[in-house]
Amino acid sequence: MKRQVYLSMKSLEEAKKIFFTRFGPGFRTGVETVKTEDGSGRVTAAPVFARRSAPSYHASAMDGIAVKAAETYGTTERLPRTLELGRDAVWVNTGQPLPEPFDAVIMVEKVHQIDENRVEVRSPAYPWQHVRKVGEDIVATQLLFPQNHRIRPYDVGALISGGVFSVNVYKKPQVAIVPTGSELVRHTEIKEAEVLKKGQIIEYNSLILAGLVKECGGIPLIYDIVPDVEEAIRAVLSRAVMSEADVVIINAGSSAGSKDYTVHMVSEMGEVLVHGVAMMPGKPTILGVVNGKPVVGNPGYAVSATLSFEQFVGPLLYNLQGYLRPKTRTVKVQPTRDIPSRIGIEEFLRVNIGRVGPRYVATPLARAAGSITTLTRAEGVLRIPSLSEGITQNQETEAELLVAEEELQNTVVVIGSHDITIDILGDEVRREGRNIRISSGNVGSLGGLLALRRGACHMAGSHLLDTETGEYNISYIKRYVKGLKVAVFHLTLRDQGLIIAKGNPKGIKGIADLAGGDIVLINRQAGSGTRVLFDYKLNQSGIRSDVIKGYDHEEFTHMAVAVDVLSGAADCGMGIYAAAKALDLDFVPIVREQYDLIIPSHMLGQSNIQTVLDTIGSGHFRERIISLGGYDPSKSGELFMEVGGD
């Protein structure tokens, strides 16, 4: 099978126009009749008329006495009127039928009972006072709801009241979800502790897509995993388009690889409307028609699959049911750093968002299309137009929210060096039901200090070693955060060293072993405290960086370094002991270093900041940190010193 090339890739707007012209507002599911009590959230397929009047009888609207209004005329405080119960008036309760021949109700509060047989009133009633007349709310035959109306919970009450006990609604769209890939295995087929075979991947995209289908009011139909075999894909596509499904999603196999058969099958069995959309992630999307049904070739990477669904399948499912897609909530944000982007591709960038002072700030997450955690961690998405080269840190832009805006008010933004304890802090601060979010951006210690200076975060995590004094962070704060008074709080002491493969197959004893030879390093990014420490140790050992294999290969977190070692992509990397322990790797200790949180002094009075500091100093938090290994949190939460402000 030859590889396909995106010769006619469409812009996102072009692709939407082509797709939704073919499957526009008039493209609907079939009609079914449901019980009215089951109709909430459904869309009427025909106008609904009342079959009964409500109320169906003249009813008292108050507790009191029913009277003939004409017999009370002329009554005043000075000229009260005595009425005989049973003849001139009768007691009634709210909702009771109004007995004939009475035509008004006087509230019980306005009635003075003389004895068991007589009452006195001191003001007149007027006809139909405090009476709900027949049809006051609903009149039989009146239009209750037009077609294409989404039934709300209180609409159900109106329908029942009007004698409508069943309604014709559009069927919930059924969506066939076909996961493809010879490397995929169901999570139900493996045990939790079972080690996957090389080349195996747990399939979860179908579960994500199924959840999204349900959110759009549809019914997901998850098919068995189909291997990358042309005949198998042809067979399952044929079965799916001939089934009751209204929409077919084929997940993976939509790209341009030699094993990507989806576009050929759609072209062979129907029509390809679009192959390739100028969006990132999501470029390999296929939009087609087979047997009159929309078929979407959905990219295999999780983030790409999600964004492709949101742009095409989601709106289609709303169209099928006859109602508008909920409006996306947005806020204005300012990036914490410059964000370059590729011209010609509309980019959807996942970001952390928090309110710092008077503005919302957005910290970009990794762009990896296969990293589902960039969606789970994100508070929003930045859309960078296709004709833009990116967004600068001084430029305000709009972000689509993935959480309620109220949550952003309680988000504490931590930018700087990566540490596992920040993740623990994010969980621990919510332990007692406190609605505070920790949003962390891993840009290195120096990047955190620069973000702090720009007012882009509440806290910076830093462990920058001054190689001349042996002191951590203070000299860097004085140099890079001039003019801002900050408070430096201890978070933890931690063990830094070389993370190496289990059993130490290369016999690595220290940094001196990295010079020359066949040992491959995975490094941390420039500006990170770990990189500063590593370069310092190289200099102490008299080792030039150009003699170390992999020195220029960088990762942004300790866990990413550990994963590279575990996978065999590198033999070792500088990182913390807790990361090595988490992945059952070996560790060569180099130094115990100080990791601090730096906070602008003027923010210390904020309740969320104080809650975070209280949490850091708590015994429970310290116990959890100690259990990770390689940490000494004995001084966590203590104020080390205040710096700057001159």
Residue 4 within any structural domain of the chain: no
CATH of the domain at 347: 2.40.340.10
Residues 6+ positions from 4 with CB-CB distance below 8 Å: 256, 260, 263, 264, 275
Is the domain of 155 the same as that of 211? no
Strands of 286-385, DSSP E: 286-290, 293-298, 330-335, 339-340, 346-356, 359-364, 380-384
Residue 522 within any structural domain of the chain: yes
Sequence length of the chain is 646
Comparing CA positions, the residue from 229, 221, 239 lying closest to residue 291 is: 239
pLDDT of residue 595: 95
- Please state, in angstroms and rounded to a whole number, the distance separating the CA atoms of residues 397 and 407: 19
CATH of the domain at 153: 3.90.105.10
In which element (H, E) is residue 199 found? none
Residue 207 within any structural domain of the chain: yes
Last-in-domain residue among 132, 156, 186: 132
Is the domain of 142 the same as that of 128? no
Residue 185 within any structural domain of the chain: yes
Is the domain of 230 the same as that of 379? no
pLDDT of residue 256: 53
Is the domain of 145 the same as that of 64? no
Contact between residue 573 and residue 456 where contact means Cβ atoms under 8 Å apart: no
Q: How far is CA 643 from CA 450, 470, 497, 527, 602, in A?
A: 15, 18, 29, 21, 12
Contact between residue 278 and residue 346 where contact means Cβ atoms under 8 Å apart: yes
Taking CB atoms within 8 Å and a gap of at least 24, the contacts of 230-234 are 230/1, 230/261, 230/264, 230/265, 233/180, 233/261, 233/262, 233/265, 234/261, 234/265, 234/268, 234/269
Measure CA of the first residue to CA of the last residue in the chain; give whole Å. 69
Structure tokens, 433: 């039901």
Residue 540 within any structural domain of the chain: yes
Q: Counting beta carbons within 10 angstroms of the beta carbon of residue 342, is it exposed (0 to 12), middle (13 to 18) or buried (19 or more)?
A: middle
Q: How far is CA 199 from CA 170, 185, 227, in A?
A: 44, 10, 13
The domain containing residue 399 runs over which residues?
330-409
For residue 175, the tally of other CB atoms under 10 A from its CB is 29
Angle between helical axes of 420-428 and 619-628 (0-180°, round to 10): 150
CATH of the domain at 246: 3.40.980.10
- Please state, in angstroms and rounded to a whole number, the distance separating the CA atoms of residues 214 and 174: 10
Q: Total structural domains in the chain?
A: 5
Structure tokens, 92: 């009634």
pLDDT of residue 252: 80
CATH of the domain at 85: 2.170.190.11
- Please state, in angstroms and rounded to a whole number, the distance separating the CA atoms of residues 189 and 507: 38
Is the domain of 446 the same as that of 458? yes
10-residue averages of pLDDT along the chain (646 residues): 59 95 90 96 94 91 95 92 94 94 95 94 94 89 93 96 96 96 90 82 94 96 93 94 96 62 91 94 94 94 94 95 87 90 91 91 83 86 91 92 89 91 92 84 88 92 91 94 94 96 95 90 91 93 93 92 95 95 95 95 94 95 94 94 79
Is the domain of 368 the same as that of 499? no
Structure tokens, 374: 């960039």
Is the domain of 210 the same as that of 339? no
Is the domain of 299 the same as that of 368? no
State whether residue 401 is helix, strand or coil. Answer: strand
State whether residue 577 is helix, strand or coil. Answer: helix
Which residue has 């000229």 as its token pair? 79
Is the domain of 164 the same as that of 270? no
Residue 6 within any structural domain of the chain: no
Residue 151 within any structural domain of the chain: yes
Q: What φ, ψ does residue 262 adopt, rounded to 5°?
A: -55, -50
- Please state, in angstroms and rounded to a whole number, the distance separating the CA atoms of residues 399 and 404: 12
Is the domain of 604 the same as that of 463? yes
Bond from prior residue into 80 cis (ω within 30 degrees of 0): no
pLDDT of residue 645: 67
Alpha helical stretches, state H, 226-341: 230-241, 262-269, 302-308, 314-321
Which neighbouring-strand residues pair with 297?
250, 286
Strands of 357-485, DSSP E: 359-364, 380-384, 390-391, 397-401, 411-416, 437-442, 459-462
Last-in-domain residue among 132, 161, 182: 132
Contact between residue 537 and residue 530 where contact means Cβ atoms under 8 Å apart: no
For residue 267, the tally of other CB atoms under 10 A from its CB is 15
Residue 523 within any structural domain of the chain: yes
Structure tokens, 283: 């470029």
Is the domain of 492 the same as that of 603? yes
Is the domain of 79 the same as that of 153? no
pLDDT of residue 371: 82
Contact between residue 415 and residue 399 where contact means Cβ atoms under 8 Å apart: no
pLDDT of residue 594: 94
